[in-house]
Amino acid sequence: MNAKTADKLATGIIVFFAVVIVAILAGLLGIILFRGIAHIDWHFLTSPSQNMKAGGGIGPQLFNSLFLLVLTMIITVPIGLGGGIYMAEYAREGKVTAFIRLVVEVLSSFPSIVVGLFGLLLFVNTFDLGYSLLSGAIALAIFNLPLMVRITEQSFRAVPREQKEAGLALGLSKWKIITSILLPVALPSLITGTILAAGRVFGEAAALLFTSGMTTPPLDFTDWNPLHPRSPINPLRPAETLAVHIWKLNSEGVVPDAKQVAAGASAVLVIMVLLFNLVARWFGRFVYRKITASKRME
């Protein structure tokens, strides 16, 4: 077999596997959307769920998923960025750094159910936070931190060394080099890592069963006092998310239209993830173009 034939064969195999992956993804999305999109309307998206009778919606669960995402990313992003920057720019290679990397790798391989049980023992019981949004957000932050740290470290290490050396030659401090030179170049990769971490929050159920709970109190959307038990932004209230609600309907749902509600909720969850990814990627490119344009003007 000559080189040209081998190249065509390898290209064909790669294209075949790429088409198979795209077909599997399109098939999964098509089935979920086909089964559930007919059940989606304004009433379904805003009304509370029902425990015994048909006609319930997913309003509180949808809000809980979005609010939990915000809380989780508030915890994950600063700590993950700080840890990744430390590993990339400040940590010296040695046994301590190798041990930290080992810990990060071990944490990234933990099953989410183990993180949920850890959150149940520590945050729910020991710290007495109870089944709450805050317990779920901390548990998911632990689940997502290894990914955020690794992506941040790799993003900063991928910046050309010449740019860093140019900053040193100009007499810039290390922190100024990080914020003014390295961070803008690494920003697209950091946004991608944030998107991946956020996507895991949307779809996570196992860890939240033991931390944020499987119930939601009646919410009063006219009361935005975070200390009120029925306030939607109270971080210490139980909060059943959309993914947990889907699991609950399929495993122990007793409402007559459980399958229809689960199908509609699944379609909403898929659409949310797709829209979030598209908007986040557009925002990342927009920010990167703005930073690049401003640097050119300088």
**Token couple for 72:** 């989780």
Predicted pLDDT of residue 295: 62
Residue type, 267: A
Buried b (16+ CB within 10 A) or exposed e, 49-79: bbeeeeebbbbbbbbbbebbbebbbebbbeb
**Token couple for 224:** 């935005």
pLDDT in tens, 17-42: 999 999 998 998 899 888 888 888 88
Measured distance CA(118)–CA(113) in Å, rounded: 9
Evaluate if residue 157 carries a pLDDT over 90: no
Find the helix packing angle between 133-157 and 95-108, rounded to 10°: 130
Q: What's the chain's average pLDDT?
A: 85
Measured distance CA(295)–CA(1) in Å, rounded: 51
Predicted pLDDT of residue 137: 93
Q: Give the pLDDT band (50/70/90) at residue 6.
A: confident
Predicted pLDDT of residue 298: 59
Of the chain, the percentage scoring pLDDT greater than 90 comes to: 19
Q: Comparing C-alpha atoms, which of 37, 74, 95, 73 is closest to residue 196?
A: 73
Predicted pLDDT of residue 24: 94
State the average pLDDT over residues 104-120. Answer: 85
pLDDT in tens, 184-241: 888 877 887 787 778 778 888 888 989 998 888 888 888 888 888 888 889 999 999 9
Each domain of the chain, given as residue ranges in start order, spans 40-297
From residue 208, how far is each of 47, 131, 156, 203, 266 by CA, in Å? 22, 9, 32, 10, 17
Pick the CATH number of 40-297 from 3.60.21.10, 3.40.718.10, 1.10.287.3510, 1.10.3720.10: 1.10.3720.10
> What global pTM score does this model have?
0.85
Predicted pLDDT of residue 225: 82
